[in-house]
């Protein structure tokens, strides 16, 4: 059983500069709860994510039977790389926690089959929001959500799935935003989130190498 997302890999033009930026939010370890952020040279933002398994051999066999055979410890889902590793002891004693990872798709039905039936994630909500021009499928993986987003009405864009960034839950969004802004990085104002009772802001500076959302659930 896949139990969480303990790793994200982010491609950035200057890993050292991006480390300094992310450290303001995640600390020098670049850790969001049980999730470690790995920065690699190359640009492009989020480029891979890691699933934790409490039965790596069993999950590997299950994925093979479902037509997603892992190779070198990773599996490809419509062009996106998901790595696999044995689950480790829980260390969720940090002030920032990975809330969700976003995948953009033009084929939500195929994505529902891949992430639900084949990967075995738990589909908790399938929501169409015409006012936002989107449909979103929310899959639970341990304490983290994989959010599959597609345009509504559907698009005929021929591209496959794309990474759409990630969100980190923080305990005091104003304090974190001020720390980032005071260091000279571009960050949006705090605003109400789409989910009732949440507030969010976006880390917009290029040092963050792609869309990064801060989320506070206190309302």
Among positive and negative, which fits the CA dihedral 17, 22, 23, 25? Answer: positive
Residue 162 confidence (pLDDT): 92
**pLDDT tens sequence for the chain (219 residues):** 899 999 999 999 999 999 999 999 999 999 998 899 999 998 889 999 999 999 999 999 999 999 999 999 999 998 899 999 999 865 544 568 999 999 999 999 999 999 999 999 999 999 998 888 999 999 999 989 999 999 988 777 777 799 999 999 999 999 999 999 999 999 999 999 988 889 999 999 999 988 799 999 865
Q: What is the DSSP string of 65-108?
A: HTT---BTTEEEETTEEEEEEE-------SSEEEEEEEEE-S-H
Residue 194 confidence (pLDDT): 85
| C-alpha closest to that of 163 among 72, 100, 99 | 100
| C-alpha closest to that of 97 among 199, 165, 169, 176 | 169
Among positive and negative, which fits the CA dihedral 173, 178, 183, 184? Answer: positive
Residue 72 confidence (pLDDT): 93
Q: State pTM to two decimals.
A: 0.91
| C-alpha closest to that of 166 among 136, 210, 133, 206 | 210
CB 100, CB 167: distance < 8 Å: yes
CA 88, CA 6: separation in Å to the nearest integer?
9
Residue 195 confidence (pLDDT): 85
3-state secondary structure of 209: coil
Domains of the chain, each with CATH number or no CATH = 2-216 (3.10.180.10)
Residue 15 confidence (pLDDT): 96
């Amino acid at each position: 059983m896949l139990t969480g997302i303990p790793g994200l890999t982010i491609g950035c033009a200057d890993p050292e500069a991006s480390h300094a930026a992310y450290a303001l939010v995640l600390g020098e370890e670049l850790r969001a709860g049980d999730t470690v952020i790995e920065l690699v040279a190359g640009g492009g933002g989020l480029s891979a994510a890691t699933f934790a398994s409490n039965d790596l051999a069993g999950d590997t066999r299950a994925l093979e039977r479902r037509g997603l055979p892992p190779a070198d410890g990773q599996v490809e889902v419509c062009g996106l790389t998901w790595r696999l590793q044995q689950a480790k002891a829980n260390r969720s004693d940090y002030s920032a926690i990975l809330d969700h990872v976003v995948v953009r798709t033009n084929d939500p039905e195929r994505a529902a089959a891949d992430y639900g039936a084949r990967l075995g994630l738990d589909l908790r909500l399938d929501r169409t929001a015409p006012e936002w021009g989107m449909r979103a499928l929310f899959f639970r993986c341990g304490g983290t959500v994989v959010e599959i987003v597609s345009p509504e009405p559907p698009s005929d864009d021929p591209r496959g799935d794309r990474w759409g960034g990630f969100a980190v839950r923080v305990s005091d969004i104003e304090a974190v935003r001020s720390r980032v802004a005071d260091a000279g990085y571009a960050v949006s104002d705090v605003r109400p989130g789409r989910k009732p009772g949440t507030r969010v802001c976006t880390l917009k500076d290029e040092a963050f190498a792609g869309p990064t959302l801060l989320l506070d659930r206190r309302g």
